[in-house]
Structures are given as structure tokens and as C-alpha cells.
């Protein structure tokens, strides 16, 4: 059974056991009280850290607080997500958020204090207190920011402007999620109804081209009408990023964004250039799409419809899980043994029920275990979602098991590696096992579309971000016309000459919320190609790569992301990993073209 009317109908084995976190709300409240008491204690250190002992005492208390706060927040998030209509759960979540704000306020003084120290003083503190060795690496990594810290007065000024500086992102979020009025489409009874995002996602994949076109034009209508407003808003965001980077002494907004992960702009530029150098297979696929759809002119609203009719295959959750375990055998006995236990120990909330949060995610809770939320349907799409989220969960499990709390959380830059390695292993396993040519073609099409969305589309977005910030830095115009022209030019570059452009294409940039989180999306692409490179070598039987990859899963954030990946054999300062991924993409496109049913 795929869906249930009530959560009570779902088998216990397919629901989270939240007693692993707290056995009662009373226990949860005790931790809330402890966190608030520790926050008050931490605030008393403001102005009173003057030697190694007091520095260690502050950091140790802060880590203990962080441990409890994560549990406090996770518990309420999980309660709320299993039924978003539960008002009591929402109240607990709000209380957890308020607690987190108080903690943030209590500890806000510390980073400015740390960066006000000179290097000699910090070294002295480390020599005075032997137990500070545990925090030493974190302290020095934080200390890297010192050259980019402004005077006390300027930092205070920027802090007071924080809400104003976030206004473009906040404005776009409200506009895009609350106020956007989509156009009308025709329902099954011939009536005009206003399009919703959920409707659009289904209609843009409809086999009826008229349905797709109508949905496409209705979806883009508000972005066309509001073009100047959204352009002015994005320009403000981009100019703010460029200005703050300049004020702090960074070479660019890009270098400022990459600084935290210790990544050079060379990696970003290498990604863009390598993608463009290997763009031909994507152009070939676009041409294949036109041929398969049998259209005189391929339009943007033709790019999402599946080229192979959906395979209506019924795959139970247990069968999907067992297939995943078979597909991941190349990762070794320990990996599959632990993964098998996740199902038995109720680490996964499986089924869609009324009020449950949509989508899927993994959250690793240090000191407990990963919690995975699914909305599982017994189909192929859910099977791929399962294997993706369990990749995240296993990364969390191994990092939390082998790392101290301070380095257990892996960074966003490497977050998609483990999930994508799992997906590659699954699809290769399914391709190897299937004897049905239609299923084979469907799987190849699925992988191509994943490649296109996770790599090429994200690189195109990254290219757009880089060029808009460069224009802001040199005070070139960033108005509706210039943004439209830039986006349309990039869309042509990445999609090739087969596509015939509608007027709406150039407005595509205005619907991307990630542009208000500068230089974030490129990490999807780097994580994807890293995973392709690693998975390919594991499937080729490279034992050294397997051992290195398993160590990578255990490493959390004990080193910077590029260094962790280098230990797996992936060096993103060179074009080689991207070219290896492009080779797989090219071969997949060719296999798709050859396969007939």
C-alpha cells in the first residue's frame, strides 16, 4: 500500500521511533531548560575570556549546549513534519526556535572577540591550556577570517544593517511564494482555473503538447509582468554582495563566498570552462529529443516531457530496499549491514499521510542516529529517492560514529557526493539486471535528465551568477534588459541550436530563488561529477578507491572539502573529474540513442 488516510494506519515498522531522542515531552523540556541556563552562563563570558582556561571553559560549555540544542530542535522538527497540522507540535517547534535565537544572542560576542586577538595571544592561550588542543583546528580556521574583519565600528554598523541587507532575499521569498499570480489554464471540465506550482510540475510533463504550452505560458506570465521589479530586486542583492566583498578586502564576491571552504576561484572557473568544452553531448541529446517527440520546432515547454512513457512498475518499499542493498554491494559488507539495520531500527519515516511534510530529507543527529523522511510511493521514482536519501544517511552515520562532535558535520560542498554515488550504483545495477529494452531506455533517459538537471543546469546558473557579480563589481548596468539578454545567451550556449526560443525563455533567471544565496548552486555540479568519478572507479573494482571513499564517509569536516575529495582520487583543481563525468554522459546519450523497444 502506498498512501494512508491516517498515520495510525501506517505499520509501526515504517514510522520513526522518536523515543530514540526523547521518551517524553517532559524530558525534552528539561533539555530546553538546560540549554537556556547554559546560554545565560555563556553570556557571562563576554568580556571575561582572558586566558586559556576561560577560553576552554567557554568552548566546552558551548559544545555541550550545541549537543542538547540539536536534539531539542530535531525532536520538534520531526514532530511537526509528520503532521504539519498538529498545532501543539508547531508550538514546540516555535519554542525550540526561540531557544536557538537566545543562544545565538548569548554567543554573538565570541567571534568578534576571537578575531580581535592577535596571533601571539591565541598561541599563548593554546599553550596555557592543554585541553584547548581539541578546539585548536577550529580556532585557527576561524582565525583565517581576521584579515577580512573591519574595525569594531564598521562591524557594528554592518550588524545593524543586517535586516536591511537581507531585504532583497526576503522580498523575493514573499513575492515568489506568497504573491505571484500565475495565469489560468483549462481544467478537465473545460473551465479556466489559476495555475499552481503543483499543477505546473505535472502539466509541463504532459504528453499533450497543448497542455504543456498552456501551462508554460501561464507559469511565466507573472515573471514577464514583474520583470522590472524582480530585476531591480536581484540587482540590489548582487550589488550588496559585491560591495561587502570589496569592503572586507576580498578580490571578488565569488572569492568571498568560496573562502569558508578554502576553495580557490580556479575550481569555479574550471567547472564553467570544462562544462562548455564538453557541451556537445547535451546538444546531441536536445536534437534526439526533437526527433523522438516528432515536432517541427523544439520549444522550451518540450524539454521536460519524458521521452519514454512512464514505466508503471509496482515496487513495494521492502522490494525497493532489498534492491538498493543489492545495488550497493560494491560498497562492502559493513556498508550494507549498517544500511539493512536502518530499516529494522525505524530510522526511516516511510509513507505519505495527510498533513505530512512533502519531499524527502535526511538529518543526522549527533549522539543518536540519522532520521530519514520519505513520502514513499511504490514506484521507480520513490526507489531513486530512497537510495539518494540513504546515501546522505550513511554519510551522517559514518561521520558521526568516527568523528568527535566538533568535526562530525560534513560541509555542503561534499553533501551530494554520497547520495549520488548511491544513485549511480543503483542505475548501473538496474541496467545490468533488466532484460526489458523499454525499461532500459527509461533508465537511460532518467540518468540523462538527472545529469542535465544536476550538472548542466546548475553550471548554467553558476555562470549567470559569476557574470552578474562581475558586472556589479565594475558598475555595469544590471537592469531587466541586461539580465534577460545574459540569461538568454547562456541558455542558447548550453542547450544548443536545435531549440527554438520563445519570448519567455529570457525571463527564466527571475524564477530562481537560489540566486539570493550567492554561489551556492555550483556545489550541486561539483558534488555530482565527484560522485560519478568515484562510483565509476568503484564499479571497475578499484579497491583503493573503495577504501578511500569509505574513509571519506567517516571524515565529516576534519579537513577542507577539496582535500577530503583528493583523498578519494578526485582533484577538482583539474578538469579530469569533469571530463570523466562528461565521458559517462556522452556514452549514456549514445546508449539511449541506440536502444529501441
Q: Write the DSSP symbol of residue 475.
A: T
- Bridge partners (DSSP) of residue 184 are 194
Q: Are 276 and 493 within 8 A, CB to CB?
A: yes
Residue tagged 558534488 (cell numbers): 527
CB atoms within 10 A of CB 574: 13
| Joined grid coordinates for residue 144 | 583565517
Q: Write the DSSP symbol of residue 359.
A: S
Q: How far apart are the first and last CA of the chain?
A: 30
Q: How far apart (Å, rounded) are the C-alpha atoms in residues 363 and 341? A: 17
Burial class (CB in 10 A: 0-12, 13-18, 19+), 228: exposed
| Joined grid coordinates for residue 247 | 569592503
- Bridge partners (DSSP) of residue 507 are none
Torsion angle of the four alpha carbons 270, 276, 279, 282, in this order, in degrees rounded to the nearest 10: 90
Q: How far apart (Å, rounded) are the C-alpha atoms in residues 425 and 326? A: 10
| Joined grid coordinates for residue 489 | 545567451
Backbone phi, then psi, for 499, in 5-degree steps?
-75, 130
Q: How far apart (Å, rounded) are the C-alpha atoms in residues 266 and 268? A: 5
Torsion angle of the four alpha carbons 217, 223, 226, 232, in this order, in degrees rounded to the nearest 10: -150
DSSP output for 506-548: GGGGGG-GGGGSTT-THHHHHHHHHHHHHHHHHHTT-HHHHHH
| Catalytic residue list contains 389 | yes
Q: Which of 389, 416, 423, 465 is catalytic?
A: 389
Q: How far apart (Å, rounded) are the C-alpha atoms in residues 419 and 549? A: 13
Catalytic residues: 389
Amino acid at each position: 500500500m502506498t498512501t494512508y488516510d491516517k498515520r495510525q494506519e501506517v505499520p509501526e515498522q515504517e514510522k520513526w521511533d522518536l523515543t530514540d531522542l526523547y521518551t517524553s515531552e517532559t524530558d525534552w523540556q528539561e533539555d530546553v531548560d538546560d540549554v537556556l541556563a547554559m546560554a545565560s552562563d555563556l553570556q557571562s563570558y563576554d568580556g571575561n575570556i582572558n586566558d586559556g582556561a576561560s577560553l576552554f571553559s567557554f568552548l566546552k560549555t558551548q559544545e555541550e549546549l550545541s549537543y542538547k540544542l540539536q536534539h531539542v530542535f530535531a525532536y520538534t522538527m520531526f514532530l511537526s513534519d509528520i503532521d504539519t497540522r498538529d498545532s501543539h507540535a508547531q508550538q514546540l517547534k516555535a519554542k525550540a526556535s526561540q531557544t536557538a535565537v537566545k543562544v545565538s544572542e548569548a554567543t554573538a560576542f565570541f567571534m568578534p572577540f576571537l578575531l580581535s586577538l592577535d596571533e601571539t595571544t591565541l598561541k599563548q592561550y593554546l599553550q596555557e591550556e592543554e585541553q584547548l588542543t581539541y578546539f585548536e583546528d577550529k580556532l585557527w580556521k576561524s582565525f583565517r577570517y581576521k584579515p577580512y574583519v573591519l574595525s569594531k565600528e564598521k562591524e557594528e554598523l554592518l550588524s545593524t544593517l543586517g535586516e536591511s541587507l537581507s531585504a532583497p532575499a526576503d522580498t523575493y521569498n514573499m513575492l515568489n511564494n506568497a504573491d505571484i499570480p500565475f495565469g489560468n489554464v483549462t481544467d478537465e471540465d473545460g473551465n479556466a482555473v489559476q495555475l499552481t506550482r503543483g499543477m505546473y510540475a505535472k502539466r509541463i510533463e504532459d504528453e499533450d503538447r497543448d497542455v504543456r504550452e498552456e501551462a508554460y505560458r501561464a507559469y511565466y506570465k507573472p515573471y514577464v509582468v514583474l520583470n522590472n521589479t524582480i530585476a531591480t530586486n536581484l540587482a540590489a542583492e548582487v550589488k550588496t554582495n559585491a560591495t561587502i566583498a570589496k569592503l572586507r578586502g576580498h578580490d571578488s564576491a565569488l572569492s568571498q563566498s568560496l573562502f569558508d571552504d578554502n576553495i580557490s576561484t580556479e575550481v569555479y572557473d574550471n567547472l564553467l570552462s570544462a562544462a562548455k568544452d564538453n557541451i556537445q553531448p547535451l546538444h546531441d541529446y536536445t536534437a534526439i529529443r526533437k526527433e523522438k517527440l516528432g515536432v517541427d520546432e523544439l520549444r522550451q515547454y518540450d524539454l521536460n516531457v519524458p521521452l519514454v512513457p512512464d514505466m508503471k512498475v509496482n515496487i513495494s518499499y521492502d522490494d525497493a530496499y532489498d534492491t538498493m542493498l543489492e545495488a550497493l554491494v560494491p560498497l562492502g559488507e559493513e556498508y550494507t549491514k549498517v544500511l539493512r539495520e536502518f530499516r529494522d531500527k525505524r530510522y526511516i519515516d516511510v509513507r505519505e499521510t495527510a498533513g505530512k511534510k512533502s519531499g524527502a530529507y535526511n538529518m543526522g543527529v549527533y549522539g543518536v542516529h540519522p532520521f530519514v523522511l520519505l513520502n514513499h510511493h511504490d514506484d521507480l521514482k520513490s526507489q531513486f529517492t530512497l537510495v539518494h536519501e540513504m546515501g546522505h544517511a550513511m554519510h551522517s552515520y559514518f561521520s558521526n560514529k568516527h568523528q568527535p562532535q566538533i568535526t562530525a558535520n560534513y560541509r555542503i560542498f561534499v553533501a551530494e557526493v554520497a547520495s549520488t554515488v548511491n544513485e549511480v550504483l543503483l542505475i548501473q545495477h538496474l541496467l545490468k539486471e533488466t532484460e526489458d529494452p523499454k525499461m532500459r531506455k527509461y533508465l537511460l533517459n532518467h540518468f540523462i535528465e538527472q545529469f542535465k538537471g544536476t550538472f548542466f543546469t546548475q553550471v548554467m546558473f553558476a555562470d549567470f551568477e559569476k557574470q552578474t557579480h562581475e558586472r556589479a563589481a565594475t558598475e555595469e548596468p544590471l537592469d531587466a534588459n541586461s539580465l534577460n539578454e545574459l540569461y538568454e545567451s547562456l541558455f542558447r550556449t548550453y542547450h544548443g541550436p536545435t531549440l527554438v526560443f520563445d519570448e519567455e525563455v529570457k525571463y527564466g533567471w527571475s524564477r530562481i530563488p537560489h540566486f539570493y544565496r550567492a554561489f551556492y548552486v555550483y556545489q550541486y555540479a561539483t558534488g555530482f561529477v565527484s560522485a560519478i568519478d568515484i562510483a565509476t572507479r568503484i564499479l571497475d573494482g578499484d579497491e583503493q578507491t573503495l577504501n578511500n571513499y569509505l574513509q571519506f564517509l567517516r571524515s565529516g569536516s576534519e579537513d577542507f572539502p577539496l582535500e577530503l575529495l583528493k583523498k578519494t582520487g578526485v582533484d577538482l583543481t583539474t578538469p579530469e573529474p569533469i571530463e570523466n563525468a562528461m565521458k559517462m554522459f556522452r556514452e549514456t546519450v549514445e546508449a539511449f540513442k541506440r536502444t529501441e523497444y
